[in-house]
Chain A
Amino acid sequence: MKDVIVYAEHRRAETRKVTFELASEAGKIAAALGGKAHAVVLGPGSAQLAEQLKSYPLDTIFFNEDADIEAFLLDPIVDYLEGAARIAGPSLILIPNTLSGRDVAGRLMVRLDAGMVADVVEVKSDLGAVVCVSPKLGGALITQCALRAADYGVLTVRPNAFAVETGGTGARVEQIAKPASKSYPAAIDRDVEEGAGELALEEAPVVVAGGRGLGGPEPFETLLKPLARALGGAVGASRAAADAGWVPYNLQIGQTGKTVTPTLYIAVGISGAIQHKVGMRASGTIVAINKDAASPIGEFSDLLVVGDAFRIVPELTKLIETAKGNLS
């Protein structure tokens, strides 16, 4: 395989940050493999998104405004990606490791009879072979997995693994033909956006997460949201908080929730159970606020402040806001 193809995932014409991360990295991987990097962006709004992607080191940006993308569940996306892969020839396809990215990847793997590595955080080339670094077993082991000389490779890539670096080299924007008519079995009747405009948890550079120690839903709004906002981050939660119905399940971090790797993770009133740890252990810096000095979270935090979250968090938010005010 030589070329690299990025699946530019977006929600209603809002490109996800991970797409830009992949677009930034694809050129480097392609250079190491001696090929070119491309992107595929699909559905209403994709012509404009294709223009946006021009500021990344890509060769060809394929797009199609096909309304079927929003009318049917993933089937047309898989068809288009397969089409792009056939145009490029033996290639490596990079897909964000998100809920829908995983579905796309599994299906594309079969279509292309490709090798697949999931949750990749680094891609290396070793004498022409693609070697992927990915954490397994909840991050307990970091594996290096090679794609055997297969024609095609499909990778799901963890958000926040690669830096966004613009640097366009004059990519060509090209409309890709609609794949030969197929019937799509799963139709979307309604599509409801709940967290519109909010930063996706997996993509946030800072995560402020709350647990059972917060005692109810209100502190997520009154304590954590302002702190997250001051830090330019997103709010997350432990399963105890999600199970109690204090926050929606899509904020849950851990074994049965999301995996996050922000630069800064602040755990507020979270004990640090193994099932929580596996979803956040790879964060850059971990700070915990907990009443209990013996709480397991202290074992893997860079800083544990022993004290009452209800008193500490508002003061911390104030300190950060004041510091920001002084700078601007």
Chain B
Amino acid sequence: MKIVVTIKLVPNPNAEKRIDPQTKRLARTGVETVLNPYDEYALEAALQLKERAGGDTTVTIFSMAPDSLKEGLRRALAMGADDAVVLSDEALEGSDVSATAFAMAAALRTLKFDLLVVGGLTDDSSTGAVPGALAEHLGLPCITNARKVEIKGDAIEVERETDSGYQTVHGPLPALLTTALTFGEPRYASLKGIMGAKKKSIASISLQDLSLDRPVGTSGSKTELRSFAPPPVRGKGEVVEASDGLSGAQAIFDFLAQKRLV
């Protein structure tokens, strides 16, 4: 079985983020990048499936990212993925979600797979629309938020979380899957994994390798960022030291009453 996992490299969520006023895009230089948290979970799920399936099952990482960032994928290789493919091209810069999903789908089409595991949400753009969009472009069943997965021949059985409970679902392979965090904590890379990752392949492909029938990048985007600003500052508010339970409760009650919240 061949599994492909999509991984986006995102600015470290703990680092301060800024938008370049000239390009109106997220400044990605000089900022440490990490694997998008949801994608680490997606990779963990893929690695668990690989271990369970055994045999000649492989896990390939796919990312669309500037070439300068691609070494960041070594961490995913160190966790246990077999190899990586990066789609990078200057013409992709400024792609919005529709252009991104279109280009990613074209690249993914060139990789043969039985299962495509995608993260649920990115930390930077947070549209959560890429999984559904990829499924449409690629004509795959779209099974999201899985917490248990069973592969049975060329069919997949999934227990998935919903907003208010869970469902069991089945469908044919190849399929697209996103995983819930309950699938399991992403593993740490072992020393052996880190050493081994140095020798694993990170292949680059560009738009020339794909024949796209629509533009991507800024000109191929259907949305335009007009302006951005930080939210109104939320200053430090009142601080009350409670000498006992009742005085603390009274302080909160009075505060809420004054704001007409009780």
Set of chain A residues within 8 Å of B262, measured between Cβ atoms: 231, 320, 323
Q: In the complex, which residues 187-205 of chain A have their Cβ closer than 8 Å to any Cβ of chain B?
A: 187-196, 198, 200
Which of A43-51, A115-123, A168-176, A213-221 is found at the contact surface with chain B? A115-123
Set of chain B residues within 8 Å of A107, measured between Cβ atoms: 132-133, 135-136, 142
Which of B58-66, B95-103, B188-196, B202-210 is found at the contact surface with chain A? B95-103
Contact status B222-A293, CB under 8 Å: no
Q: In the complex, which residues 85-115 of chain B have their Cβ closer than 8 Å to any Cβ of chain A?
A: 96-98, 101
Q: In the complex, which residues 210-262 of chain B have their Cβ closer than 8 Å to any Cβ of chain A?
A: 221-231, 234, 236-246, 248-253, 255-257, 259, 261-262
Contact status B165-A307, CB under 8 Å: no
Return the contact of B223 from the options A147, A187, A320 (Cβ within 8 A): A147
Return the contact of A319 from the options B167, B169, B182, B253 (Cβ within 8 A): B253
Contact status A188-B169, CB under 8 Å: yes
Contact status B236-A289, CB under 8 Å: no
User: CB of A15 within 8 A of chain B?
Assistant: no
Set of chain A residues within 8 Å of B180, measured between Cβ atoms: 249
User: CB of A138 within 8 A of chain B?
Assistant: yes
User: CB of B80 within 8 A of chain A?
Assistant: no
> What are the interface flags for A136-180 relative to B under an 8 Å C-beta threshold, 1 for contact and 0 otherwise?
111111111111101000001000000000000000000000000
User: CB of B29 within 8 A of chain A?
Assistant: no
Q: Could you tell me how many residues of chain B have their Cβ less than 8 Å away from some Cβ of chain A?
A: 84
**With the chains together, A113 CA to B140 CA distance in Å?**
18
Given A186-B141, A191-B167, A193-B165, A293 and B236 contact (CB-CB distance below 8 Å):
no
Q: In the complex, which residues 282-304 of chain A have their Cβ closer than 8 Å to any Cβ of chain B?
A: 282, 285-287, 289, 293, 298-304
> What are the interface flags for A256-272 relative to B under an 8 Å C-beta threshold, 1 for contact and 0 otherwise?
10000001101000000
Most chain-A Cβ atoms within 10 A of its Cβ — which of B123, B162, B168, B253? B162
Within the complex, what minimum Cβ distance (angstroms) separates B114 from chain A? 14
> What are the interface flags for B119-132 relative to A under an 8 Å C-beta threshold, 1 for contact and 0 otherwise?
00101111111111
**With the chains together, A192 CA to B248 CA distance in Å?**
41
Set of chain B residues within 8 Å of A318, measured between Cβ atoms: 249
- The A interface is mostly helix, strand or loop, or mixed, namely mixed
Contact status B226-A145, CB under 8 Å: yes
Contact status B165-A192, CB under 8 Å: yes
**With the chains together, A147 CA to B130 CA distance in Å?**
18
User: CB of A316 within 8 A of chain B?
Assistant: yes
**With the chains together, A113 CA to B133 CA distance in Å?**
10
Q: In the complex, which residues 120-159 of chain B have their Cβ closer than 8 Å to any Cβ of chain A?
A: 121, 123-137, 140-145
> What are the interface flags for B14-45 relative to A under an 8 Å C-beta threshold, 1 for contact and 0 otherwise?
10010100000010000000000110000000
Contact status B168-A315, CB under 8 Å: no
Return the contact of B248 from the options A140, A186, A278, A312 (Cβ within 8 A): A312
Q: In the complex, which residues 94-112 of chain A have their Cβ closer than 8 Å to any Cβ of chain B?
A: 97-100, 102-111
User: CB of A281 within 8 A of chain B?
Assistant: yes
**With the chains together, A107 CA to B168 CA distance in Å?**
21
User: CB of B200 within 8 A of chain A?
Assistant: no
**With the chains together, A308 CA to B37 CA distance in Å?**
33
The tally of CB-CB contacts under 8 A between chains A and B is 290
Set of chain B residues within 8 Å of A32, measured between Cβ atoms: none
Set of chain A residues within 8 Å of B166, measured between Cβ atoms: 192, 194
Contact status A139-B252, CB under 8 Å: no
Contact status B250-A319, CB under 8 Å: yes
**With the chains together, A307 CA to B121 CA distance in Å?**
36
Set of chain B residues within 8 Å of A97, measured between Cβ atoms: 128
Task: Specify the chain A residue showing the minimal Cβ separation from B232.
Answer: A142
**With the chains together, A189 CA to B121 CA distance in Å?**
26
**With the chains together, A21 CA to B83 CA distance in Å?**
46
Contact status A256-B234, CB under 8 Å: no
User: CB of A86 within 8 A of chain B?
Assistant: no
Contact status B171-A187, CB under 8 Å: yes
Set of chain A residues within 8 Å of B136, measured between Cβ atoms: 78, 106-107, 110-111
Contact status B97-A148, CB under 8 Å: no
Within the complex, what minimum Cβ distance (angstroms) separates A87 from chain B? 20
Contact status A289-B228, CB under 8 Å: no
**With the chains together, A306 CA to B240 CA distance in Å?**
6
Contact status B37-A305, CB under 8 Å: no
Contact status B13-A255, CB under 8 Å: yes
Contact status B162-A188, CB under 8 Å: no
Given A186-B141, A249-B161, A256 and B37 contact (CB-CB distance below 8 Å):
yes
Within the complex, what minimum Cβ distance (angstroms) separates B62 from chain A? 17
Chain A residues engaging chain B, CB cutoff 8 angstroms: 11, 73-74, 78, 97-100, 102-111, 113-119, 131, 135-148, 150, 156, 185-196, 198, 200, 206, 231, 249-250, 252, 255-256, 263-264, 266, 274-275, 278, 281-282, 285-287, 289, 293, 298-308, 310-316, 318-320, 323
List 5 A-B pairs, Cβ < 8 Å. Answer: A111-B136, A118-B128, A185-B171, A289-B248, A314-B245
**17 further A-B pairs in the complex, CB-CB below 8 A; given A118-B128, A136-B124:** A100-B162, A106-B128, A111-B136, A113-B98, A136-B228, A137-B17, A141-B17, A142-B230, A147-B223, A148-B222, A186-B169, A186-B175, A193-B164, A231-B262, A305-B251, A308-B242, A318-B249
Chain B residues engaging chain A, CB cutoff 8 angstroms: 13-14, 17, 19, 26, 37-38, 96-98, 101, 121, 123-137, 140-145, 161-172, 175, 180-182, 221-231, 234, 236-246, 248-253, 255-257, 259, 261-262
